[in-house]
Every structure is written in C-alpha cells, then in structure tokens.
Structure 1
Amino acid sequence: MKTNTEMIMKWKDYNLKWNPDDYNGTTSIRIPYRNIWFPDIILVNTADSNYEASVLNTNAIITHQGEVELLSHAILTTVCLMDVQWYPFDQQTCRLTFASWTYDNTKIRLVQGPADLSKFRQNPEFFLEDFYSELDDVINPCCPTPIS
C-alpha cells in the first residue's frame, strides 16, 4: 500500500534557545534540518528499498524557546496482508509502525498527535472505515529498554 502523507515532528532542543532581544527581536528561524539534531523516526515496516528517498524533509522551524518543528512529505510504501475471503465485503487492516531506529524510550518518547484527514481522497476500490493510532512499547531483542 502507498500512503501519500505529511508528517509533523515536534520536539524541544534546549541548545537552540536564544533571547530575542539579543537578535533584533527575532523569535523564530528556519534552517536546513540537516544542520541540527533531529530524531531518527522511521517507518519500521516499510516495503520501500529506497525509504530515505521517499521522505522529503523541509527546513526546520525553530522558536527562541527551543521548540523545533520539522514538516516532511512522504510517500510511504508498506506491505499489508490482504484477506479477500469475503470479497467484496472484506475488511483489511494495514499498520504503519513508526519508531526511532537508535534511541530507546528513555531518550525519545513518541506521543500521539491529532490526525487530519480533511484532504483524504477515497479510493474507488477501497473505503477508509477507521483510522486510529496507538502507542506501544516494544522490547527489541538487542536491548533491555523498550522502544516506542
């Protein structure tokens, strides 16, 4: 399945705070995201052999309080198991699983944000009946601390 989406990541970086009075009243800046630390959140169950090329990151928006926002456009490809036993009355579930690749949940903690489906376009063959997110701590065999 291909999902055309916008992802928004927000975090606080206390190293990126400044006093606006010291910089002509500047309260926010935009800089290339690669010039700062950013979380390595990825689609764990990607089916794309060139995943990095499917995500387009923009400039990071940074406020004087150290709040960082990174907007990304992505075309995500995932494998969904299809059960067509009751076709055309079947229902399919397709999960998109996101996590940090290198940080456990003591370093990065994902939180649920609102989903905006206002620009969602129905597929003529499939209908979106439900959309939800859930947080789940996963124990990776390599490490004692869960990832989220």
Structure 2
Amino acid sequence: MTSSLIVLFVFIGHASHVVTQSGNDAKRLHQQLFVSDTYNKRIRPIDNQSSAIDVYANLHLLSINELSETDEVLTTTAVLSMSWNDTFLKWDPNTFGGIKFYYWPQNEVWKPDIALQNSYLDYKGLGDKTLNVMNIHTGAMYWNPFQVFKSTCSLDIFYFPFDYQTCYLRFQAWSYSRRQVNMESGYRDSQGFDLDYYETNSEWDIVNTSWHVYRDQQDAAINFKMTLKRKPINH
C-alpha cells in the first residue's frame, strides 16, 4: 500500500485543513482532553448512555490474494474505513492555536471492537497499536485499519471452469449489542464497497459488489458481498 493511498484514506473530506499550531498548543489540547477532562476510553463516548453510537463502515478492497478451493477461504487485502462521533473529544480550535484535528494512537481512545465475523482464523480486533485515529474538533472520529482478511467462502465448482462464486466479509461489533453500537455504511455518499484502488486478480474478475446491514434483536453487522467470475484458463 503506497504512502499516498494511506494519506488519501486518512484525509477523506479534510484535505483543505492547513494547520500552523505550535507544539505547546498540541500539549495543551492533550492535557485538556485526557487529563483535565479525564477522558476514559472505557466509556462509550455518548452523553445518553441508553442510546446507541452509530458507526459507519466502508470497505476499500485493494486486492484478492487467493481464493482457496481446498479450504474454501477467501484471502483479501482491504481497508475498513470507519467513522463515529465521540462527544468527549471536542474542542474550540480558537483556544488551541487553530488546531482543527489531531491524531491519537488507536489504543488511547474509544473505538468499536469490530471483528470479521466469518473469519477463517481466530477472531481478533482490527488495527494495530501503531495506528492512529483522526479526531476532528467537532468530535468526528476516523479510523482506517489496513489488514489482510481470511474469510470463509462456500464454493460451488459444478460449472468449473465457467463458475461464479459469491463471497462475503461480515463485520460486527463483537462485544456490543445493537443497542450500544449500531452499524451503518455508505456515509458521505460513499459506495459502501469501494473498488477505486483495487488491483485486478489473475484468476478472478469481480462482476458485482454490494453491501447490506444485517440486524436482529441483539446485534448489527455489515455484509460486504462480492460475486466473482473465473477467468478463462488461457487468458
């Protein structure tokens, strides 16, 4: 993944911001939010704790690494771009030298514990402690974990080598119910399932993509669906 692509994902919708604040301004901002205001990442960042936090997730597929017919596993590389509002991480830019946004290590702020539900491997949270979350002064939060996903995919090869396969990546807030974290997609006119930076695969063509928010009485999850067509052997 190129550095320019990382920058693009981080600055979605905010490329016009230019900051000239000092280091002391940044220190005062951190002191205010995390010390004076006693920010606690264990508390869901919403004033009404009886309400759910809306979390928007969009999948930026970068590549299909492999579709294993033996194990029925789809391996992909993707960025899951997420956004939510943190009511406890707001400030007036005029008070802090014009700072309109800042970056905090992902382990220092509240974030939804999103996991790939149909993972072929053990369930684990997204991201890495070295990643940052972008915090806008309005409380808007942007998190873009980049990861290789191994998801289960049931295959039907009856029509091989002219077969089509349908695979899913299903993400869910693992330890929260939908009354606490409500999953959504398609924010800011996004397609929900984005292929703008997808690198074509030598064996499979993507012929269709879609996304769907699944809800039951307890949970909310997002299915990202892709339909694949096997390329001719002599392509």
- Choose the corresponding residue for 2:215, options 133, 137, 142: 137
Determine the C-alpha separation between the residues in 2 that align with 1:50 and 1:15. 29
Tell me how far 1:6 sits from its aligned partner. 0.9
- Partners of 2:80 and 2:144 within 8 A in 1: yes
Tell me how far 1:122 sits from its aligned partner. 2.1
Matching residue of 2:182: 109
Tell me how far 1:8 sits from its aligned partner. 0.8
Matching residue of 2:164: 91
Counterpart code for 1:125: E
What are the superposed Cα offsets for residues 114-146 of structure 1, whole Å, 9 maximum, x if unpaired?
23202212222211111110111135xxxxx33
For structure 1, list consecutive stretches of 5 or more residues without a partner in the other structure.
140-144
Matching residue of 1:118: 196
Tell me how far 1:49 sits from its aligned partner. 3.2
- Partners of 2:120 and 2:151 within 8 A in 1: yes
Decide which moves more: 101-110 or 4-13.
Answer: 101-110
Determine the C-alpha separation between the residues in 2 that align with 1:23 and 1:44. 41
Matching residue of 1:100: 173
Q: 1:29/1:55 Cα in 2 relative to 1: closer, same or farther (>3 Å)?
A: closer
RMSD: 1.7
Tell me how far 1:15 sits from its aligned partner. 0.3
Matching residue of 1:142: none
Q: Which has the larger radius of gyration?
A: 2
SS of the counterpart of 1:22? helix
Matching residue of 2:109: 36
Counterpart code for 2:158: Q
What TM-score do you get using the length of structure 2 for normalisation?
Answer: 0.57
Between the two structures, name the one with larger relative contact order (CA 8 Å, sep ≥ 6): 1
2:98 aligned with 1:20, yes or no? no
1:39-78 matches, within 5 Å, as 39-49=112-122, 51-52=124-125, 55-56=127-128, 58-78=131-151
Determine the C-alpha separation between the residues in 2 that align with 1:34 and 1:59. 8
Task: Please identify which structure carries the higher strand content.
Answer: 2
Determine the C-alpha separation between the residues in 1 that align with 2:146 and 2:156. 30
- Choose the corresponding residue for 1:10, options 46, 61, 83: 83
What TM-score do you get using the length of structure 1 for normalisation?
Answer: 0.88
What are the superposed Cα offsets for residues 45-72 of structure 1, whole Å, 9 maximum, x if unpaired?
10123745x7446211101100000111
For structure 2, list consecutive stretches of 5 or more residues without a partner in the other structure.
1-73, 222-235
- Partners of 1:55 and 1:75 within 8 A in 2: no
Decide which moves more: 109-118 or 2-11.
Answer: 109-118
Task: Please identify which structure carries the higher helix content.
Answer: 2
Size of the alignment, in residue pairs? 142
